[in-house]
């Protein structure tokens, strides 16, 4: 199968302008008729990725930063603890945005 696909691909490349134009037309036609289902699939995959990777990574970073900050800073009042929690949330968000 891969040898056949490679042969077809090399023959299409030999056509130069005609092959490129035909390929462009095929891509435009696929986009014209299939953009809604493609958009739905991309959107569903985006939210699945967000739920599986981003949210879990954010929670892990947030709790790790919060744990380390609590050990290092030892907050004594509720205000200090709330400020530390807010800063750990912001720090985890920035860290994930950089990654």
- pLDDT tens digits for range 23-62: 777 877 887 887 788 788 878 888 888 888 888 889 999 9
- Per the structure, the count of domains in the chain is 1
Through-space distance between the first and last CA atoms of the chain, rounded to whole angstroms: 39
Name the phi and psi angles at 59, rounded to 5.
Answer: -65, -40
Residue 92 pLDDT level (bands cut at 50, 70, 90) = very high
Q: Which residue has the tokens 């699939």?
A: 41
Range of the domain at 15: 2-98
Query: How far is residue 85's CA from residue 32's CA, in Å, rounded to a whole number?
Result: 49
- Residue 65 contacts residue 46 (beta carbons within 8 Å): no
Q: Where are the alpha helices (DSSP H) in the chain?
A: 2-14, 17-49, 55-73, 78-98
Q: Which two tokens stand for residue 82?
A: 């709330």
């Amino acid at each position: 199968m891969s040898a056949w696909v490679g042969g077809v691909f090399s023959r299409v490349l030999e056509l130069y302008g005609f092959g490129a134009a035909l390929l462009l037309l095929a891509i435009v036609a696929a986009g014209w008729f299939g953009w809604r289902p493609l958009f739905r699939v991309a959107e569903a995959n985006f939210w699945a990725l967000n739920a599986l990777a981003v949210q879990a990574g954010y929670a892990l970073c947030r709790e790790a930063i919060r744990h380390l900050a609590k050990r290092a800073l030892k907050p004594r009042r509720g205000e200090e603890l709330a400020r530390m929690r807010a800063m750990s949330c912001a720090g985890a968000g920035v860290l994930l945005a950089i990654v």
